[in-house]
Amino acid sequence: MAEDVLMLNISSAPVTFYKKTNRRPLSTAEKWAQKKRESKRKAVFEPQESSASKQRKINQTGQQHTHKQKPQTPRSPSQRSNNRDTEENSDQGENSPAKSPSKVKTFPKKAPKEHGDHGRPFIKTSSLFRNNPEIPDVLSPAVNQVKEKVFTSNMFEELNLHPHLVATLHKVLNVTSMTSVQKKTIPVLMSGKDAVVRSQTGSGKTLAYGIPVVQFLQAMQPKVKRSDGPLAVLIVPTRELALQSFQMFQKLLKPFTWIVPGVLMGGEKRKAEKARLRKGINVLISTPGRLVDHIKNTLSIAFSAVRWLILDEADRTLDLGFEKDLTVILNALNATGLARQNVLLSATLTEGLSRLASISMKEPVSIHVSEGREETVEACPQAAPQALSDSYAVPERLQQHVVVVPSKLHLVCLAAFILAKCKFEQRQKLIVFISSCEAVEFLLTLFTAILCEKPSTSSTKHTSASLNFCRLHGNMRQEERTEVFQEFSQCKTGILLCTDVAARGLDLPQVTWIVQYNPPVSAAEYVHRVGRTARIGAQGSSLLFLTPSETAFVDVLAKHNISLSEMKMEDVLANLMKDERFKGRGKWDSKRSAAAFEQEVRERATVLQTDFENYVHANNESLQTAKSALQSFLRAYTTYPSSLKHIFHIRSLHLGHAAKSFGLRDAPQGLGSSITTNPANSKDSKKGKDKAKRPPKKLTAKERVSNLMRSEYLSGIDGESKSKKKRKKKKGQAEEEQSTTA
Ligand SMILES: Nc1ncnc2c1ncn2[C@@H]1O[C@H](COP(=O)(O)OP(=O)(O)OP(=O)(O)O)[C@@H](O)[C@H]1O
């Protein structure tokens, strides 16, 4: 433990605990004085146990409680005794810099005994409300939120489309009037121009390019044949989005049966894809990596007839992570020399894309829908993408919230929120974004075990629904991914725990809440995540979790004209009052004071956290799962881009507190050394000290990219690591092997 603290420089970093303190380090005497003040303060503010209650516990156990406990068998909340120890021997296992030495003396390290009178094992409880950093007020700066009108009163009939296409839009896709982006984009693309299109999430961009492509292909003379091969190529960053876009083209092409759409995506059998390519695919939808794979290994893929290239989620597809793949694709397409229409689309296109856009496009028309530019479709040669500002539009009916939660309380706070929405409210569908595949798996198992239990008696005051958890991330088998994606699309309620693999483009109907349990890597990713709700003019809400040291991210969002309102952590936790399974040790009476209410909330949070911890520590397997989830979370934390490192830096994480958010009582040994790369984080040896004096090694652009990409692999977005590719080659699995990372 102590080593971890040193390695991460946590103990010497007061910024971890109190935001924006530039104080000099405290002397030992000052630290003692501070601790004394702190414990006095706690005596006033923290829930206290009566001495009678303390005495009762000592009598029951025959001893005082110890620091190191054997793992307890997890017990259902209904089995639990209400006579639990809350906030008692609470700080053990955390690398808490404010731990009082006197406390350590008070509790000798003895194994727990069973209660003599009840025959129940001693239940270790968790300290949640001590030694947390102060929660600063979050003042989201006032911004002029960019507004985009979703719908227009114009009908598709006005566009001079094939009547069967219009009929399909009405009957199959159920759409009649155009959205703003469709009204602006479709005529431009039908006139044969290239375009860079930016409009908010869920505003109908897919049809904005889908309709012109189908209109063009159905009118081609001589008639399109399968043997022509790809005439339109659509590149998207994830497999689920590829599947979704493919399904949309299937619908649009219903009346034009001679035009064949097809999808290539990692995780599918290459052999089958090759066979389909041989037969002929006219509208080819693919993830970049898989298309490159076929360009290199499939003879029958030919691009001699390609007339359209569309990059959906273009900022993601064009970013450095996919640059190499895209270069291969562009070279293959350009080799044919045929005139081609190019379209780039995203909700977050900025000027950063000008470089690649200018490589692949001819005098693109820049289209954006923000108010004030309503009717301007400017032809803007070469420099078109520069016209796009850094302000992002988010759906007007999206209510955005932020909650500041100390690391220790993250897990219970998320659980309380999920219970509130999905157990005690009707028709709620949540997506929870988490930074790594392992953490998704861990939370799925934990929540299913602890939150999904049925209430033991009829004492539950509120009517409650059963919780329906599912998960989506890049380490799942493709069939399972597809199944979950389809199921969650169709269900009316439920909770999807996922990585950023679900952040882009997915059109999952009726999602009511987006929870960002781990903050996104950029403002753009924030926009895409929240964009999974409030689509096509609907209402929706989002909640961003930040720790006290991360609150400056709100200012980063404000720079992109995104404003959030604060939700108080206490209010989220207060939802636990609806769930009798986690009630505290005393009899709760709703007529009691506000202070008693607050104490009961804290007790319930503690009971819940204790359940989580008991579950995690019940056996070695669950313990290891929690540890590797924590490790993957920390790894992901090191991959924030340098522009955000002042907010999200591994050194400002408190390992012990982060461990608690994975149900761990202790921060596992050696975690720090496996995570940190900065010499300043090495042990406090002379060598380490010397190194620490040196400025951190400046990363090359390549290293920064590989760092960033590592986070994408963690979150399961399409792509493959070099080492993985090598391993695959070695095994000679080129044909059948399925990529697990996309
Ligand atoms: N004209 C329309 N009228 C009604 N619904 C529409 C219309 N156009 C598209 N939709 C529906 O709106 C939803 C969102 O569309 P789409 O997925 O194309 O949005 P998007 O702008 O691409 O979002 P994102 O930026 O998140 O990818 C889909 O369910 C689609 O069927």
pLDDT of 72-89, one tens digit each? Answer: 444 444 344 333 222 222
- Residue, of 196 and 141, whose pLDDT is higher: 196
Instruction: Verify whether ligand 1 is closer than 6 Å to residue 204 (CB atom).
Output: yes
- CA dist 559 and 555 (Å) reads 6
- For residue 399, the cross-strand partners are 541
Alpha carbon 274 to chain centroid, angstroms: 34
For residue 389, what pLDDT band results from cuts at 50, 70 and 90? low
Instruction: Verify whether ligand 1 is closer than 6 Å to residue 178 (CB atom).
Output: yes
Asked whether the predicted pLDDT for residue 625 surpasses 60, the reply is yes
Q: Which atom of ligand 1 is nearest to the CA of 206?
A: 18
Q: Does residue 578 fall inside a structural domain?
A: yes
Parallel, antiparallel or unpaired: strands 283-286 and 308-312 = unpaired
Cα-to-centroid distance, 558 and ligand 1 (Å):
26
Residues in the chain: 742
Task: Ligand 1 pocket test: pick from 154, 171, 175, 213 the residue with the most ligand atoms within 8 Å of its Cβ.
Answer: 175
ipTM, interface predicted TM-score of the complex: 0.99
Task: Ligand 1 pocket test: pick from 171, 183, 398, 536 the residue with the most ligand atoms within 8 Å of its Cβ.
Answer: 536
Q: Which atom of ligand 1 is nearest to the CA of 531?
A: 26
Indicate if 332 and 410 belong to the same structural domain: no
**Angle, vertex CA 390, rays to CA 389 and CA 394, nearest 5:** 105
Instruction: Verify whether ligand 1 is closer than 6 Å to residue 202 (CB atom).
Output: yes
Instruction: Verify whether ligand 1 is closer than 6 Å to residue 210 (CB atom).
Output: no
- CA dist 527 and 391 (Å) reads 11
Q: What SS3 state is found at 561? A: coil
- CA dist 160 and 198 (Å) reads 24
Alpha helices in 107-228 (DSSP H): 163-171, 180-190, 205-219
Residue nearest to atom 9 of ligand 1 (CA): 204
> What integer pLDDT is reported at residue 668 of this predicted model?
84
Q: Which atom of ligand 1 is nearest to the CA of 199?
A: 21
Instruction: Verify whether ligand 1 is closer than 6 Å to residue 495 (CB atom).
Output: no
Can you tell me the mean pLDDT for 100-124?
35
Asked whether the predicted pLDDT for residue 40 surpasses 50, the reply is no
Instruction: Verify whether ligand 1 is closer than 6 Å to residue 206 (CB atom).
Output: yes
> What integer pLDDT is reported at residue 273 of this predicted model?
92
Q: Does residue 424 fall inside a structural domain?
A: yes
Contact 314, 347 (CB under 8 A): no
Q: What is the DSSP string of 724-735?
A: HHHHHHHHT-TT
Domain extent at residue 506 = 394-451+466-631
For residue 121, what pLDDT band results from cuts at 50, 70 and 90? very low
Q: Does residue 224 fall inside a structural domain?
A: yes
Instruction: Verify whether ligand 1 is closer than 6 Å to residue 681 (CB atom).
Output: no
Which residues are CB-neighbours of 632 under 8 A, at least 6 positions away?
435, 436, 437, 438, 439, 714
> Contacts by 451-457 with C-beta closer than 8 Å and gap 24+?
451/415, 451/418, 451/419, 451/423, 453/76, 453/77, 453/78, 453/581, 455/78, 455/580, 455/581, 456/76, 456/77, 456/78, 456/79, 456/581, 457/78, 457/580
Indicate if 343 and 475 belong to the same structural domain: no
Q: Of 584, 603, 631, which marks where a domain is finished? A: 631
Alpha helices in 15-100 (DSSP H): 28-45, 51-61
Task: Ligand 1 pocket test: pick from 153, 206, 243, 485 the residue with the most ligand atoms within 8 Å of its Cβ.
Answer: 206
Task: Find which of 293-302, 492-501, 678-687, 701-710 is predicted with most confidence, using mean pLDDT.
Answer: 492-501
Asked whether the predicted pLDDT for residue 43 surpasses 50, the reply is no
Q: Does residue 295 fall inside a structural domain?
A: yes
Contact 95, 11 (CB under 8 A): yes
> What integer pLDDT is reported at residue 138 of this predicted model?
83
Indicate if 358 and 498 belong to the same structural domain: no
- CA dist 197 and 291 (Å) reads 23
Indicate if 161 and 245 belong to the same structural domain: yes
Contact 474, 716 (CB under 8 A): yes
- CA dist 23 and 8 (Å) reads 19
Parallel, antiparallel or unpaired: strands 365-368 and 378-379 = antiparallel
Q: What SS3 state is found at 184? A: helix
Instruction: Verify whether ligand 1 is closer than 6 Å to residue 245 (CB atom).
Output: no
Q: Of 579, 603, 631, which marks where a domain is finished? A: 631
Residue nearest to atom 23 of ligand 1 (CA): 202
Contact 297, 273 (CB under 8 A): no
Q: Of 631, 646, 677, which marks where a domain is finished? A: 631
Instruction: Verify whether ligand 1 is closer than 6 Å to residue 241 (CB atom).
Output: no
Indicate if 439 and 347 belong to the same structural domain: no
369: nearest Cα among 178, 145, 183, 558: 183
Instruction: Verify whether ligand 1 is closer than 6 Å to residue 224 (CB atom).
Output: no
- What's phi and psi for 263, nearest 5 deg? -125, 135
> What integer pLDDT is reported at residue 85 of this predicted model?
28
Residue nearest to atom 8 of ligand 1 (CA): 204
Among 111-125, 188-202, 512-526, 531-545, the range scoring the smallest mean pLDDT is: 111-125
Instruction: Verify whether ligand 1 is closer than 6 Å to residue 237 (CB atom).
Output: no
Residue nearest to atom 11 of ligand 1 (CA): 204
386 residue type, one letter: Q
Q: Which atom of ligand 1 is nearest to the CA of 505?
A: 27
Cα-to-centroid distance, 205 and ligand 1 (Å):
6
Other Cβ atoms less than 10 A from the Cβ of 575: the count is 21
260: nearest Cα among 278, 237, 272: 278
Asked whether the predicted pLDDT for residue 716 surpasses 90, the reply is no
Count Cβ atoms within 10 A of the Cβ of residue 563 and give its class: 0-12 exposed, 13-18 middle, 19 or more buried. Answer: middle
> 297-329 in b/e burial notation, b at 16+ Cβ within 10 A?
ebeebbbebbbbbbbbbbbbbbbebbeebbebb
Indicate if 624 and 570 belong to the same structural domain: yes
- CA dist 740 and 729 (Å) reads 15
Cα-to-centroid distance, 536 and ligand 1 (Å):
6
**What are the tens digits of pLDDT across the range 11-29?**
222 222 223 333 444 444 4
Can you tell me the mean pLDDT for 303-330?
89
Indicate if 492 and 622 belong to the same structural domain: yes
Q: Which atom of ligand 1 is nearest to the CA of 181?
A: 21
Instruction: Verify whether ligand 1 is closer than 6 Å to residue 400 (CB atom).
Output: no
Contact 297, 729 (CB under 8 A): no
Among 101-110, 573-582, 592-601, 690-699, the range scoring the smallest mean pLDDT is: 101-110
Count of structural domains within the chain: 2
Indicate if 411 and 285 belong to the same structural domain: no
Q: Does residue 347 fall inside a structural domain?
A: yes
- What's phi and psi for 96, nearest 5 deg? -80, 120
Among 180-184, 330-334, 410-414, 715-719, the range scoring the smallest mean pLDDT is: 715-719
Q: Does residue 162 fall inside a structural domain?
A: yes
**What are the tens digits of pLDDT across the range 570-591?**
999 999 998 888 887 666 666 6
Q: Does residue 483 fall inside a structural domain?
A: yes
Asked whether the predicted pLDDT for residue 56 surpasses 50, the reply is no
For residue 464, what pLDDT band results from cuts at 50, 70 and 90? low
- What's phi and psi for 566, nearest 5 deg? -85, 140
Instruction: Verify whether ligand 1 is closer than 6 Å to residue 505 (CB atom).
Output: yes
Residue 628, token pair as written in the block: 């590797």
Can you tell me the mean pLDDT for 555-564?
94
Instruction: Verify whether ligand 1 is closer than 6 Å to residue 203 (CB atom).
Output: yes
DSSP state, residue 421 = I
Indicate if 329 and 429 belong to the same structural domain: no
Cα-to-centroid distance, 78 and ligand 1 (Å):
46
For residue 245, what pLDDT band results from cuts at 50, 70 and 90? very high
CA distances 643 to 107, 406, 619, 692, 704, Å, are: 45, 23, 41, 22, 11
408: nearest Cα among 718, 17, 66: 17
Cα-to-centroid distance, 201 and ligand 1 (Å):
8
- CA dist 549 and 136 (Å) reads 9
The DSSP H or E segment spanning 702 is helix 701-715
For residue 697, what pLDDT band results from cuts at 50, 70 and 90? low
Indicate if 350 and 258 belong to the same structural domain: yes
- For residue 346, the cross-strand partners are 198
**What are the tens digits of pLDDT across the range 628-669?**
999 999 999 999 999 999 999 999 999 999 999 999 998 887
Q: What is the DSSP string of 197-254?
A: EE--TTS-HHHHHHHHHHHHHHH-SSPP-GGG--SEEEE-SSHHHHHHHHHHHHHHTT
Instruction: Verify whether ligand 1 is closer than 6 Å to residue 13 (CB atom).
Output: no
Q: Does residue 279 fall inside a structural domain?
A: yes
- CA dist 264 and 147 (Å) reads 36
Asked whether the predicted pLDDT for residue 457 surpasses 90, the reply is no
Indicate if 327 and 403 belong to the same structural domain: no
- Residue, of 293 and 717, whose pLDDT is higher: 293
Cα-to-centroid distance, 459 and ligand 1 (Å):
45
Instruction: Verify whether ligand 1 is closer than 6 Å to residue 533 (CB atom).
Output: no
Indicate if 506 and 625 belong to the same structural domain: yes
CA distances 257 to 164, 382, 578, Å, are: 12, 38, 55
Task: Ligand 1 pocket test: pick from 150, 198, 203, 313 the residue with the most ligand atoms within 8 Å of its Cβ.
Answer: 203
Cα-to-centroid distance, 552 and ligand 1 (Å):
33
Instruction: Verify whether ligand 1 is closer than 6 Å to residue 121 (CB atom).
Output: no
Q: Which atom of ligand 1 is nearest to the CA of 509?
A: 29
Can you tell me the mean pLDDT for 161-185?
97
241: nearest Cα among 515, 530, 532: 532
Instruction: Verify whether ligand 1 is closer than 6 Å to residue 532 (CB atom).
Output: no
The DSSP H or E segment spanning 277 is helix 270-279
Residue 523, token pair as written in the block: 């403002």
Instruction: Verify whether ligand 1 is closer than 6 Å to residue 244 (CB atom).
Output: no
Cα-to-centroid distance, 257 and ligand 1 (Å):
24
CATH number at residue 579: 3.40.50.300
For residue 391, what pLDDT band results from cuts at 50, 70 and 90? confident
Instruction: Verify whether ligand 1 is closer than 6 Å to residue 535 (CB atom).
Output: yes
Residue nearest to atom 25 of ligand 1 (CA): 201
pTM score over 0.90: no
Other Cβ atoms less than 10 A from the Cβ of 64: the count is 14
Instruction: Verify whether ligand 1 is closer than 6 Å to residue 133 (CB atom).
Output: no
For residue 359, what pLDDT band results from cuts at 50, 70 and 90? low
